[in-house]
Amino acid sequence: MTKLVWRVQPAPTGPYRSFEARGWPMAHFDSKDGPPAAMLRAAYEYAGSFARQEDVGFDIKVEVANPNGNSFDWRPLKKRVRSIKEAKKLVNAFYKAHPEFIRGGVDEK
């Protein structure tokens, strides 16, 4: 399977850091600048940054990039999870079961 590289925005710093939102983890194919593979989001409206703990306390929605010509559409997976670790496992299982969604014509390693 193609390697998925997860990227997380650094935590906000400075005197106004409490007003800045931190982005959710996002996966790319093969490198941090490769084609997008998956994104994690709060399943419901949530104004704040994600937690790094095992159970974030709310459902996480996992979305995968559906290739559409030269662009892509985000498609949510039906299963909701409650930890980032579980979400990463779900994304890996999805791409193993559906290699046709792997974008960019990347060869399996």
Range of the domain at 26: 4-101
pLDDT score for 46: 52
64 within some domain = yes
Determine the Cα–Cα distance for residues 44 and 9; give it in Å rounded to an integer: 21
Q: Does the residue 50 lie in any domain?
A: yes
> Mean pLDDT across the stretch 8-12?
79
pLDDT at 33 over 60: yes
Question: Which 3 state secondary structure label does DSSP give 105?
Answer: coil
Specify the pLDDT at position 94: 92
Nearest to 22 by CA among 7, 43, 38: 7
pLDDT at 65: 86
More confident residue, 109 or 56: 56
Is 36 a residue whose pLDDT tops 80?
yes
- How much is the pLDDT for 82? 82
Task: Tokens for 3, please give them.
Answer: 């390697």
Q: What is the pTM (predicted TM-score) of this model?
A: 0.72
* Residue 5: strand, helix, or coil: strand
Number of domains in the chain: 1
pLDDT value at residue 100? 85
Maximal C-alpha separation, the chain: 46
